[in-house]
Structure 1
Amino acid sequence: MSLIDAIDNLYEKLVADAIDETRQPDDDEDFLTDVMCVALNRLPSKYYRHSVDMVFYMAEGEMKAMKEDSLGAVKDARDFVQGHKREL
């Protein structure tokens, strides 16, 4: 196992959940991938090695705030990506 496989960014999971929550029937995978990239670039990194560490060491209310931040970042990213569609 490489070192990169040993860590995760908590915001990746939260952004993916927010994308699922805001998904529209006409959203394609390319659009959603762009939304995920834009949203993650607008959020800080929150790396962890074991998910139990995140639960144990997070301050009360921190996860709720992170979920709200992720949802806001996804909504903003959707608007940004829709306004900057690639011409093929």
Structure 2
Amino acid sequence: MKLHDDIHNFYEHLITERVTALGLDKTYNADYLADICCLALNQVPPRYIRFDVDMAFYLSQTERQQMEMNVEQAVEKAVNFLEKKKLQELIS
């Protein structure tokens, strides 16, 4: 068994979905997107699963909505943090 192949954090999927929905993948390069994802993932609790379908069956609608709201806030904070940092570097 290889853990990195068999188990993943469900929030990774939600965050990449949010990044795509916001069109950030068309605005920023791969390194910047990786930074956004890492910063956002560090703000949400991990939800490790083996199969995405498991979440569809065992997650209530309320829990799913809360997770999506957590992702929205986390991605927004990550983008704001990086933009502020980039602005500070330009000023310095």
Work out the CA distance in 1 between the residues paired with 2:29 and 2:53: 33
Deviations 1:15-66 (A, max 9, x none): 0011112234532222111111100011110011122221111123211221
- Secondary structure, counterpart of 2:27 in structure 1: coil
Normalised to the residue count of structure 1, the TM-score between the two structures is: 0.84
Q: Which amino acid aligns with 1:53?
A: D
Distance 2:28 2:58 in 1: 36
Q: 2:63 maps to what in 1?
A: 62
* Structure 2 unaligned regions, length at least 5: none
Query: Percent identity over the alignment?
Result: 36
Runs (5+) with no aligned partner, structure 1: none
Further displaced range: 10-19 or 58-67: 58-67
Higher deviation after alignment, 19-28 or 66-75 = 19-28
Relative to 1, partners in 2 of residues 1:28 and 1:55: Cα closer, same or farther, differing over 3 Å? same
Match of 2:5 in 1: 5
- The range that moved more, 59-68 or 42-51, is 59-68
* Number of matched pairs: 87
Structure showing the higher helix proportion among its residues? 2
Give the counterpart letter for 1:56 in structure 2: F
Higher mean C-alpha deviation, range 1-10 or range 65-74: 1-10
